[in-house]
């Protein structure tokens, strides 16, 4: 079994009376595609925001490759190799497609920037659109651009939050191929509602419900789990 690259213990974040993340323990193994699923409001985006440093944990501990990163800010986690693409597309709409990816490569310290940017664009099939203004791309292409920006960071861990939302079936097939190409050099944490995508890509699945881990296991085990069927899959 591969080594654990990221570990969370007792991770907690409440917003007033809402227990968005409530004492979560979580292990992510090197080189795997791990899916995080659950109903709307289960705490998935808050949880990955804690892992990436966008939100500060109230209690608990996060370690990455053996290093305690619980109090590290997001930009420092990027430097360690954690890239997080957001649930809502986060691009620089007024800049070209190329410049968006080059800025991501620059933040990671990649040299030369041009080569790193073009490599990332090629992997998602957007190299022909490098001069197009990002805000004029279709929604699906904007999502793929965001993935390219994540790849340009040369991540050791790539966190993808609802990446196939708004994509056509053809774009989803392209996306699946991209994710498969990332491992085993990188580890992928995938937050996704499309269960066809989850079942095709994931080697391991964690189910969140009401801010807590409901179940974790292989795709067949999760699909057959009565509690998961009741809370999510059967809904």
d(CA 120, CA 162): 20
- Give backbone dihedrals phi and psi of 213, rounded to 5 degrees, phi first: -75, 120
Mean pLDDT of 151-166: 89
Residue ranges covered by each domain of the chain: 92-153
Q: Where are the alpha helices (DSSP H) in 12-133?
A: 44-52, 74-80, 97-108, 113-124
Is the per-residue pLDDT at 191 higher than 80? yes
pLDDT tens track for 119-156:
999 998 999 999 999 999 988 889 889 989 989 888 99
Q: What is the CA radius of gyration of the chain?
A: 17
CA distances from 39 to 74, 208, 234 (A): 26, 8, 11
pLDDT of residue 90: 78
Identify the pLDDT of residue 34: 97
The residue-averaged pLDDT of 36-62 equals: 93
What integer pLDDT is reported at residue 41 of this predicted model? 87
Three-state DSSP at 115 gives: helix
Q: 27 is written with which tokens?
A: 């292990």
Do 58 and 32 touch, CB atoms closer than 8 A?
no
- Alpha-carbon gap, residue 8 to 136, rounded angstroms: 39
Which range is least confidently modeled, 1-10, 31-40, 83-92, 217-226? 83-92
> pLDDT for 194-229, tens place per residue?
999 999 999 999 999 999 999 999 999 999 999 998
CA-based max dimension of the chain: 51
Q: Is the dihedral of CA 172, 221, 203, 146 positive or negative?
A: positive
What pLDDT sits at residue 109?
67
What does pLDDT average to over the chain? 91
- Residue 64 main-chain phi, psi, to 5 deg: -130, 120
75-100 confidence digits (pLDDT tens): 899 889 998 886 556 789 999 999 99
Quickly state the pLDDT bin for 171 (edges 50, 70, 90): confident
């Amino acid at each position: 079994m591969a080594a654990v690259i990221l570990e969370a213990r007792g991770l907690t974040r409440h917003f007033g009376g809402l227990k968005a993340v409530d004492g979560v323990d979580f292990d992510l193994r090197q080189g795997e595609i791990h899916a995080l699923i659950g109903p709307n409001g289960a705490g998935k985006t808050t949880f990955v925001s804690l892992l990436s440093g966008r939100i500060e944990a109230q209690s608990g501990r996060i370690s990455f490759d053996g290093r305690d990163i619980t109090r590290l800010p997001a930009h420092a986690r990027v430097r360690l190799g954690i890239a997080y693409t957001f649930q809502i597309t986060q691009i620089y709409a007024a800049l070209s497609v190329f410049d968006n990816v080059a800025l991501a490569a620059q933040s990671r310290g990649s040299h030369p920037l041009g080569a790193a940017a073009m490599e990332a664009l090629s992997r998602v099939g957007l190299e022909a659109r490098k001069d197009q203004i990002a805000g004029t791309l279709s929604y699906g292409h904007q999502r793929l651009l965001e993935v390219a920006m994540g790849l340009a960071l040369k991540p050791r861990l790539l966190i993808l939050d609802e990446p196939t939302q708004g994509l056509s079936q053809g774009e989803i097939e392209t996306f699946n191929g991209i994710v498969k190409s990332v491992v085993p050099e990188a580890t992928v944490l995938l937050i996704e509602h499309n269960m066809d995508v989850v079942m095709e890509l994931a080697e391991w699945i964690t189910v969140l419900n009401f801010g807590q881990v409901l179940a974790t296991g292989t795709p067949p085990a999760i699909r057959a789990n009565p509690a998961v069927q009741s809370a999510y899959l059967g809904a």
